[in-house]
Amino acid sequence: MLIFPSFTSTRSIFYRKTYLAAALPDEDYEKKKASPAVLKYKSMSKYIAKSPEMLRKEAEIKDLRAQLKKRQTTLKSLKTRLKNTQSDIEEIQRKVHTGMLHKAEAVDALRMEIAELARQLKKVKGMSRMDKEQLQMMADEISSDEMFGPAYQEYKAYKEKQQSADFDFDEYERARIHDVFQQFQVKPEEKEQRDIRKVFLKLSQKFHPDLAKGEKETADFHSLMQQINEAYQANDIQTLLELESLYLAEELDFTTKAVTVDVLQQEIDRLNRDLNFIDHQIGRTSEEIKNLRQSQLGVMLTATNRMEREGEGFDTMTAYFDQMIQMFTQLRDGLKDSIELGRISPKLMDTIMGQEEDFEDEEDDFIPGGNPMDMFMKMMDDDEEAMEFLGGLFDKVEVENPKFPIGSSVRVKANVGTPYNRKIKMKGWEGRVLDAFYNSNEQVIYVVSFDSITIGQMAPDFIKKALDEEGDFQDFELLEPQLEACQPRDTLFEATKAYKNAYHQHYWTDFVEPDQAKRFKKIMVKHPDLSDDENWNEHLEQRLTFPFEAKTRGLIDSKADIAVNVTDFQLYDEEYGYIMEIKMKGRSGKRGYPLFDLRMEDTKIAQAQILDDYSAWVWHSLVG
């Protein structure tokens, strides 16, 4: 409702101001002019004076800003995921270089000592021709450069650099990891690269240190240029746009008289440019994550995480080197003993015979004299070979008649910490037995899936940490002495429902906006006994009506904003989710197209939100 309904034109405003000026003293008029009623009236008058075209453009700007904010949130979550994946891989690489290869160095020193002792023993008088031949063969084989693969040769070069005075360990590590990750980067297309360069040049010309005035501004410009250069080299247009918005662009104020239709159109063009930039970076970042996760390094990360959760991991791999060190130490001591006696000593014979028996027992599991690191990396060529290798390495022997039967309820009676936070103790937690098997030490291990009550008592920070580490907060492995039998407190359905509620309550907070996260949870916990895909299927079948008009997002190979007519579901693809039957305008026939790459131009339609939600879910759950 207007404050002054009779004054609705510019001329009326003039008369009203004249009347107030005549009726009141100057001082009172100034106060009256600044009163809430007058200010509100002035604001309303400006609104009324705007043309329909200006109002439409203002609404378009508001919508574009909302879209941009949402895309920026998506991109930031993808960049965080990529950074975390790279950090995890870097940590594994660091463990290899500072742990396993140090073990290899110890083995290397021992084998060279053994080779020299074998040559010395060969020269002892009284040695038979056969013994001399065997000792020479031992010396030749054990001192061969081929005993350890290229990983160790790289490590030796690394050690030589490390021992030099000008060696910078941190810089070396950063450069080495940077080189490793370069191969997985997805470069922008030539036109996009030129457009990114335009933004870069605009910023660099503004903040070049040579243009600074004074020491403080020089330091500030130097810091900014460092950020600008790093973002440009990484094709991180999001960071460049944020710097541009922060330092070069002015916030458009719709209430300013200077705002014209042309000014609004310029803002629309800028926002569309930024949206296009961000969408392309989302696609590149997602592809980079996918490339990295499917690479040799990514497969190794996945396998290592699983092995670590199962109590194996690097401890088991380094144990292989410990086994070699122990074996070589015994062999060295046996050779020393033989040289002192002047003949092949019983100690050396026992060592050789004992190792031969070990070889027969172990067969192909582990061959001393090979390089476990190279063997491991060789098997990491793809998921199937990696899993086959790891499966053979850590085969679980099922317990035929476990103390706690499968499906029975158990309680943790020991004060044992969780894998994600040792300070959080599981004592008193209850759940059901899913599996029972022997570990490598012949101990009985139980996989316990905790019930709904235990899940309800878990701290949100604990659940979040488990999800951040791509782990599970419901199923844990525990030793038999750590458990005791108890009565069930809920049903399996209730436990599954509690798990899904907790999972979807906390998982999406880093990836999407709060309202969208709530909608995700509502969809995927509607039927706890169904998978996420099945719940989405029901949601889409109930909410989508056909046919409908849509446009492509341009997140995959096709271009953005291609108009299509969506007629029905076609099939489900494990990589891209639901494939729709569409007809592209201007083309004959129908084809399949991923639903996640479709959007509706009219965002006010309820169906548009469904498409936006599904697109975000597929990016984070499947494609990313």
Q: pLDDT tens-digit profile of 485-498?
A: 999 999 999 999 99
pLDDT in tens, 571-624: 888 778 898 999 987 778 888 889 999 999 888 888 999 999 998 888 887 665
- Which tokens is 559 given? 């271009």
HEC-encoded secondary structure of 287-338: HHHHHHHHCHHHHHHHHHHHHHHCCCHHHHHHHHHHHHHHHHHHHHHHHHHH
Which run of H or of E encompasses 494? helix 492-506
Is the pLDDT reported for residue 43 higher than 50?
no
Please give the average per-residue pLDDT across 114-125, as a whole number: 87
What is the pLDDT, as a whole number, of residue 258?
Answer: 66
pLDDT-based confidence at 11, cuts 50/70/90? very low
Joined together, the tokens standing for residue 354 give: 């004992």
CB < 8 Å & 24+ apart, contacts of 175-181: 176/93, 177/86, 177/89, 177/90, 177/93, 180/89, 180/93, 180/297, 181/86, 181/292
Whether the CB-CB separation of 572 and 559 falls below 8 Å is answered with: no
Q: Which of 284, 282, 204, 187 is nearest to 243 (CA)?
A: 204
Given this model, what pLDDT does residue 171 score?
53
Contact 218, 212 (CB under 8 A): yes
Q: pTM of this prediction?
A: 0.43
* pLDDT, tens digit (0-9, with 9 covering 90-100), for 156-165: 665 565 555 5
Helix axes 492-506, 460-468, angle to 10 degrees: 80
Percent of the chain whose pLDDT exceeds 70: 73
Task: Look at residue 513 and give its three-state secondary structure.
Answer: coil
Q: Which two tokens stand for residue 614?
A: 């599904």
Distance between CA atoms of 43 and 3, rounded to whole angstroms? 11
Structure token digits, residue 599: 């959007």
Question: Which pLDDT belongs to residue 121?
Answer: 87
For residue 159, the model assigns a pLDDT of: 59
**Residues 236-243, mean pLDDT to the nearest whole number:** 86
- Average pLDDT of span 46-64: 79
List pLDDT tens digits, range 289-315. Answer: 888 877 777 777 777 776 666 666 667
SS3 per residue for 363-413? CCCCCECECHHHHHHHHCCCHHHHHHHHHHHCCCEECCCCCCCCCCEEEEC
- What is the spatial distance between Cα 497 and Cα 513, in angstroms, rounded to a whole number? 23
* Cα 544 to chain centroid, rounded: 31
Domains of the chain with bracketed CATH: 10-49 (no CATH), 190-294 (no CATH), 397-495 (2.30.30.60), 514-623 (no CATH)
CB 107 within 8 Å of CB 324: yes
Cβ(335)–Cβ(327) below 8 Å: no
Provide the percentage of residues in the chain whose pLDDT is more than 90: 18
Mean pLDDT of the chain: 77
- Cα–Cα distance, 297 to 286 (Å, whole number): 17
**594 strand-pairing partners:** 579
CB 599 within 8 A of CB 553: yes
Identity of the amino acid at 89:
I
Q: Which residue has the tokens 């070979």?
A: 385
Q: CA–CA separation, 377 vs 360, rounded Å?
A: 25
User: What's residue 454's pLDDT?
Assistant: 96
| pLDDT level of residue 557 (50, 70, 90 thresholds) | low
Q: Residue 7 above 60 pLDDT?
A: no
Residue 142 has pLDDT above 60, yes or no: yes
pLDDT tier at 484 (50, 70, 90 boundaries)?
very high
Sign of CA dihedral 450, 455, 458, 462: positive
